[in-house]
Amino acid sequence: MNHPTFALEAAGVTVAYRSSPVLDELRIRVRPGEIYALLGGNGAGKSTTLNTFLGFTRPSAGTVRVCGIDVAADPRAARAQLAYVPENVALYEHLDAHENIEYFLRLAGTPPTPGAIETALDAVRLERAAWRRRLGGYSKGMRQKVAIALALARAVPVLLLDEPTSGLDPQASSEFNALLHTLRARGTAVFMVTHDLLGAAEVADRIGFLERGRIVHECAAHGAERFDVRDLYRRYAGTREAA
Ligand SMILES: Nc1ncnc2c1ncn2[C@@H]1O[C@H](COP(=O)(O)OP(=O)(O)OP(=O)(O)O)[C@@H](O)[C@H]1O
């Protein structure tokens, strides 16, 4: 495959349930090594956007591409480029972190090379003492680390996250942000759906505001110069009132 410019791309994507559009000619582009946060009020279409990237929802118009692969034409190939971490990570409670990752890698037909799982668990900074403990006793932040370690072990170029910081305490949130920066440095594209404006302002390179299935505003951080949080809040409040 040649190197596509965009890791994720929605071009003119329309999704409608019972004729009213939920996504309305949506246009989103995320580059490799970019962290993109999608914000919007309840019902704005954030989950539907995730579902179209995952190939679970088929647009009636427009194109969705993952690393240049048209999701409608080859959903399996497109999905192989993605790791999806839902709000409540679904892993096996009775297996430990190591076993979970090994199980899902084998299920995907990509058994781990020696040391790959340990490297991934180290990269997400899951404390070593927990590696062989069943997930049943894990906190939300720890589960999330295991899910992201699985993405690292699969070496996928794109990570999709749904409400990743909801329910995380400040320490876990800051560890999560550090982890996203590690992924970004590796060239992974991160697309996250969130209501957490402050978290997004801290970690994202670009923020898109979704309102009634359209990006009504998009803004970028420039290196050390971060977002103007008051301005973001004003825009976000606008989308929430409209929703
Ligand atoms: N399968 C479906 N059938 C009919 N309507 C749907 C379906 N899925 C979503 N919708 C509608 O589409 C709109 C957008 O839903 P979506 O879940 O994408 O929004 P959201 O931005 O993720 O909202 P929230 O923040 O509440 O999770 C809502 O009005 C919802 O009721």
Q: To the nearest whole percent, how much of the chain has pLDDT over 70?
A: 97
Is residue 185 located within the same domain as residue 76?
yes
The average pLDDT across 46-65 equals 96
Query: Ligand 1, closest atom to CA 210?
Result: 21
Indicate which residue's Cα is closest to atom 24 of ligand 1: 42
The average pLDDT across 11-22 equals 91
Rounded Cα gap, residues 40 and 211, in angstroms = 6
* Ligand 1 binding residues, C-beta < 6 A: 17, 22, 40, 42-48
The average pLDDT across 26-32 equals 97
Which of 28, 46, 58, 60 has most ligand 1 atoms within 8 Å of CB, for mutation?
A: 46
The average pLDDT across 196-202 equals 90
Burial of 233 (0-12, 13-18, 19+ CB in 10 A): middle
- Ligand 1 center–CA 1 separation, angstroms: 34
The average pLDDT across 14-43 equals 94
Is residue 24 located within the same domain as residue 52?
yes
Q: What pLDDT digit, counting tens, does each position of 214-236 carry? A: 999 999 988 777 888 888 888 77
Rounded Cα gap, residues 91 and 135, in angstroms = 8
Query: Ligand 1, closest atom to CA 40?
Result: 21
N- to C-terminal Cα separation, the chain:
40
- Ligand 1 center–CA 17 separation, angstroms: 9
Instruction: Provide CB contacts within 8 A for 170, sequence distance 6+.
Output: none
Judged against a pLDDT cut of 70, whether residue 2 lies above it is answered with no
Is residue 67 located within the same domain as residue 161?
yes
Sheet holding 69-70, edge to edge: 20-30, 8-17, 61-66, 69-70
Is residue 76 located within the same domain as residue 137?
no
**Domain coverage including residue 175:** 1-81+157-243
Is residue 140 located within the same domain as residue 182?
no
Which of 13, 24, 39, 47 has most ligand 1 atoms within 8 Å of CB, for mutation?
A: 47
CB 160 within 8 A of CB 168: no
Q: How many domains does the chain have?
A: 2
Q: Given the structure tokens 């409670």, which residue do they identify?
A: 93
Q: Provide the token pair at 90.
A: 């679904």
- pLDDT (0 to 100) of residue 224: 73
Task: Give the number of other Cβ atoms within 10 Å of residue 61's Cβ.
Answer: 14
Is residue 77 located within the same domain as residue 175?
yes
Is residue 213 located within the same domain as residue 233?
yes
- pLDDT (0 to 100) of residue 235: 77
The average pLDDT across 35-40 equals 96
In one-letter notation, the amino acid at residue 81 is Q
- pLDDT (0 to 100) of residue 240: 61
CA 203 from chain centre, in angstroms, equals 13
Q: What pLDDT digit, counting tens, does each position of 139-196 carry? A: 888 998 999 899 889 889 999 999 988 888 888 888 889 989 989 998 999 999 999 8
Is residue 189 located within the same domain as residue 232?
yes
Structure-derived torsion over alpha carbons of residues 129, 132, 137, 143, reported in degrees to the nearest 10: 90
